[in-house]
Amino acid sequence: MSNTFTKNILCIGAGYVGGPTMAVIAEHCPEYRVTVADINAQRIEAWNSDELPIYEPGLKELVLRNRGKNLFYTTDIPSAVREADIIFVSVNTPTKTFGSGAGKASDLQFLERTARQIVECSESGKIVVEKSTLPVRTAQALSRVLQANTKGLKFRIVSNPEFLAEGTAIHDLESPDRVLIGGTSDEGGQAAVEEIAEIYTHWVQKDKIITTSLWSSELTKLVANAFLAQRISSINSISALCEKTGADVDQVSQAIGLDQRIGAKFLRAGIGFGGSCFKKDILNLVYLCEHYGLNEVAQYWESVVNINDYQARRFVEKMVDAMFNTVTDKRIAILGFAFKANTGDTRETPALAVCQQLLAEKANLAICDPKALVNAKNDLCDALGNVEFTADPYQACKGAHAVVILTDWPEFQTLDYQRILDNLQKPAFLFDGRNCLNHEALFQMGYNVFPIGKPAQAHFAP
């Protein structure tokens, strides 16, 4: 079968990065055979079914259109490796929880295992592409494992970090701001970079495909995420000051965002950033700086994570303070648990920190999310106390003392808030952790409204 295709592309790791990326490559490169492999059989089974393992707008249509034609999912990693010309590696690289670098450095055990498996199963040289987010100089380690093969095989390492954001993955892959490809400067390294660039030229303009050294490419991925997260922590730090001074953080961010040098994006104040990348990448950067003795630089970036933790903590403290200094035994409706809208992903979601802190205060929670309930149940499986999960926001809010918005799902903006109010305990509290509702209208309706970084609107003196 493989000889009808001009090239065999394999992706090891069928997750949030590998899954969508390979579906888009398969769509645009019908002459290539694209295989996605994973050790997790359940995941692969799901990719081969009608219930894909991840939710991403537009992904299912793409998969259904190409699966079985030039897009395949398998657990047979040895055969897939043997047949591949190019191997993208997008296995998970979580933060280490043990040993040296615990809490900051990346755990590279899955990556090294993959490299060893590539060596073991290969019968010809290959281009190995780093797709997972990795610490700088991982390519060197990867290269050493691959080149140590005793079969005389030549492997080329290329770094091609992924900048897609969840919820808009297909759009980001179809129309990327840039594609970054890093390689070694020798002839073979440059040829490998060209070969990877050729894949993207099927649908991306040539001037958007940037080539750099391996180390610049690896570092760029960390720095891009650190800069984005830094903007969120910056505006969130200002939201605390706004609450004290009576200023409105949305007005501030809109006004500063009109300065073209600053720009308008990623200045939305809220309960903080989540997702699998921001915290992990910043901690990686911090670890790297500490490793090289750049302690001031390490502290500078670590403060971005510290402000993020502070923002979620501050939000719960504000809730407790507003609700007469106790939430014990009070039912609290949590609308939204995913780390952002349009995804079922809850990795590093600030909603978890908020819920855990509320549970520590002995509140009873009713959690509602359109896509993230399965993950939310897993995340809170060890939680002590009373937690209810429901897909129905009206059920979650029934009899509650407070409604809390933790994810900016568009559907929460169009709920019947009068109906919700009629079934709430009074005084009725609404805490908008994403500043996504019409606060004035809710206040007029009878809610006591507590946004982020704006004066509260209460019917009693707060």
Footprint of ligand ADP (CB under 6 A): 12-18, 38-40, 43, 77, 90-92, 110, 113-114, 132, 276
Q: Report which residue type is found at 338.
A: A
Q: How far apart are CA 225 and CA 245, in angstroms?
A: 31
Q: Report CA dihedral (263, 312, 169, 137) to the nearest 10 degrees.
A: 90
How near is the Cβ of 40 to ligand ADP at its closest, in Å?
4
Binding mask of the shown chain, residues 337 to 376, with x at each position contacting ligand UDX by CB under 6 A: --xx------------------------------------
Decide: 146 and 115 in contact? Cβ < 8 Å: yes
Decide: 173 and 164 in contact? Cβ < 8 Å: yes
Q: Is 273 in the site for ligand UDX (CB under 6 A)?
A: yes
Comparing every residue's Cβ against ligand ADP, the nearest one is: 15
**Shortest CA distance to 165 belongs to which of 232, 109, 258?**
232
Q: In what order do the strands lie in the sheet with 448-450?
A: 387-390, 364-368, 331-335, 402-405, 429-432, 448-450
Given 11, 277, 289, 397, the catalytic residue: 277
Q: Is 218 in the site for ligand UDX (CB under 6 A)?
A: no
Q: How far apart are CA 161 and CA 182, in angstroms?
A: 9
Q: With respect to ligand ADP, which residue has the nearer C-beta, 104 or 318?
A: 104
How near is the Cβ of 106 to ligand UDX at its closest, in Å?
15
How near is the Cβ of 9 to ligand ADP at its closest, in Å?
15
Which residues are CB-contacts of 292 (< 8 A; sequence separation ≥ 6)?
Answer: none
With CB cut-offs between 5 and 8 Å by kind, which of ligand UDX, ligand ADP, none does residue 166 bind?
A: ligand UDX
Q: How far apart are CA 144 and CA 152, in angstroms?
A: 14
How near is the Cβ of 288 to ligand UDX at its closest, in Å?
18
Nearest-Å Rg of the Cα atoms of the chain is 24
Binding mask of the shown chain, residues 154 to 173, with x at each position contacting ligand UDX by CB under 6 A: --------xxxxx-------
Q: Is 274 in the site for ligand UDX (CB under 6 A)?
A: yes
Q: With respect to ligand ADP, which residue has the nearer C-beta, 40 or 328?
A: 40
Q: How far apart are CA 314 and CA 308, in angstroms?
A: 10
Decide: 36 and 15 in contact? Cβ < 8 Å: no
Q: Is 381 a catalytic residue?
A: no
Stretch that binds ligand UDX, among 67-75, 86-94, 272-280, 390-398 (CB under 6 A): 272-280
Q: In this chain, which of 5, 203, 215, 266 binds ligand UDX, going by CB under 6 A?
A: 266
Catalytic (active-site) positions: 277
The residue ranges that bind ligand UDX (CB under 6 A) are: 162-166, 225, 228, 232, 266-268, 270, 273-275, 277-278, 339-340
